Structure 1
């Protein structure tokens, strides 16, 4: 009888130990926004608790480093290994359980994929209308320049210094929030206003829209560029500006989301086409040292250029007409885009496609080209 009782006791202890091992850790929070420290990078309120997902997975490539979730009440972290799948629960307001997982995911070699997209067709002469840039004398752009006091922001230095001063100002005046919904009014004045009144951020497209209108209002030719991966369906792309410098007689790379521009080994500013070519051919690229995300995470050449932008420089798309309020939906409005894609791009046709949105009453026309010379044509003086 004593032996039997001892055996039962042992079984109970084993069961308790097994249960303890399987019990999922719990951290508490009173806010749906979570901070994450991934290796050396700290992202402030960049993770939203999503109880409806089971689990909500945070993927990281920070092998050998620690990832920590930080709430307003608690924190939990784990050192990342190749087989890491760390489950835990975030208990929101002591009532809502959000099962969450930290998982390792190796980073695809986007740079190698980009190297396979080096070929264009310089002989592609399929029709594309001429690019155009709204005059700085346009009343709306005059208002942008005056209301935002852009002359004092740009300064009295040379053209390049004015371009960079405006870049830094836009980066600092609004916060980037890639998960935010676009406001109804998509122009510089209204975008800045809504960010202030609602204490909110905007995505990279809206930040590039603000900067584009600032440049146009100062008489500087600019376009915003949607930089995309090879896949036609994707979760992430990035929008930056291409700005034409009359002094340098070339396009230059300007990114308001990351306060970033790119140089060669001589410190000379580079454009998107040059950065793409140098990535493919392994040439020197220098990222400006102050490049950052929301004044929180410094950017490195290895991540920003060789990983993130290597993914998104596969193909590019830009409006044909660079103008004020270019994407605010209005009845009867027509918007035309041009896409540059390499010869191994997935969707090469149709070369021209027209679409009509019945909800917004906006007509969109999309052109495709394999000829970078047409896409990067310099503005007419």
Structure 2
């Protein structure tokens, strides 16, 4: 009798296991790449099917919205709730199973942290040297303009159209790869060349460096800006460009990694300072519709501005001299950076510091200021 009961229990458990396995949804695929629609964001070919990862988890913060995985043969959709954890199988070529999961993850409150960083000190008059911009007549910039055929790329339209044409060109020419190492030579010509030769991408800093030199070569004043979180130790930051418009007498936000610029409700282009202020005060921000990552994942205001950039607009740093080859570290070279930080920044002092890279022998000087007017000063003619 005991043996009979045991067999019944074992059979019941086995049957339950089989039923449970059969209940896991399955979608088919031939290609290892698939698209994801996450709320209002469409991410083309952004997911790689990886059977070796079990389960391969996709995390989303799109609470109340739908997430759809779209293969070349099938699709699966789930509406995201706080307890969402959808397990499913992607059957690759009718033979290989890839166990996959869509899971909700709450968004860190980066915007709330940024709101606490609103205050600056406009009376901070601690010394900072004047910012400068290399002349359009510099031989290296002349070579960049000629070799890269930038006059043709910029076009014959007005100043803003030229600025945006160059933005789109760099974005479409260089693939972003945040995990890539920086090449030894870091000027526009050599960076583009190494990408073509090695079929590789570049990180955001190198993309902004290329675009900065392109602008300078056409006589457009530009700096690249390292956008950082509050923490002094961090795994991620972002580098974009601030470009001066003589037509509008202001700086404007330009991001080659995401092909992005930002506008107000009137369609007017905004500066980095204006975007930061509007995020803090909850004012209207409009992201250009073609903003995307690697022409694969479209960007939304919520993802790009209210989450990613809200994290990285806490502290800002820029080179004092905007020039050709500024990121190539050579012997006896001197590089100066200026950092703008809010009053509740963690490390306010020393206001000036110096260091030497023992490997490259490059001399670095760092200045700090709490005064936005000094940091965002307009270029002189």
TM range (shorter): 0.7 to 0.9
Query: Structure 1: how far apart are the matches of 2:353 and 2:89?
Result: 47
Paired residues, what number? 379
Are 1:153 and 2:123 an aligned pair? no
Please list every run of at least 4 consecutive aligned residues from structure 1 whose deviation after the TM superposition is greater than 3 angstroms: 17-58, 64-81, 84-93, 96-103
Residue 261 of structure 2 aligns with which residue?
261
Query: Structure 1: how far apart are the matches of 2:266 and 2:90?
Result: 50
Shift of 1:264: 2.0
Shift of 1:367: 1.2
Shift of 1:197: 2.2
Query: Structure 1: how far apart are the matches of 2:364 and 2:99?
Result: 42
Residue 356 of structure 2 aligns with which residue?
356
TM superposition score normalised by structure 1: 0.86
Aligned partner of residue 113 in structure 2, secondary structure = helix
**Aligned positions of 1:99-178 closer than 5 A:** 102-178=102-178
Are 1:301 and 2:301 an aligned pair? yes
Residue 244 of structure 2 aligns with which residue?
244
**Aligned positions of 1:165-244 closer than 5 A:** 165-244=165-244
Shift of 1:80: 3.8
Superposed CA offset, 1:94-123 (max 9, x none): xx9998764321112322222211100011
Shift of 1:34: 7.2
Over 3 Å counting, the alpha-carbon distance change for 1:235 and 1:119 in structure 2 is same
Residue 334 of structure 1 aligns with which residue?
334
Gapped runs of 5+ residues in structure 1?
Answer: none
Query: Structure 2: how far apart are the matches of 1:356 and 1:132?
Result: 23
Shift of 1:142: 0.7
Over 3 Å counting, the alpha-carbon distance change for 1:38 and 1:302 in structure 2 is closer
Over 3 Å counting, the alpha-carbon distance change for 1:86 and 1:289 in structure 2 is closer
Superposed CA offset, 1:143-201 (max 9, x none): 10000001111122222221111111111211222222222221111121222222222
Q: After superposing the two structures, state which structure 1 stretch, 315-324 or 264-273, moved more.
A: 264-273
Query: Structure 2: how far apart are the matches of 1:294 and 1:135?
Result: 32
Q: After superposing the two structures, state which structure 1 stretch, 289-298 or 249-258, moved more.
A: 289-298
- The correspondence for 1:15, drawn from 9, 13, 16, is 13
Query: Structure 1: how far apart are the matches of 2:25 and 2:299?
Result: 33
Over 3 Å counting, the alpha-carbon distance change for 1:102 and 1:349 in structure 2 is farther
Shift of 1:58: 4.0
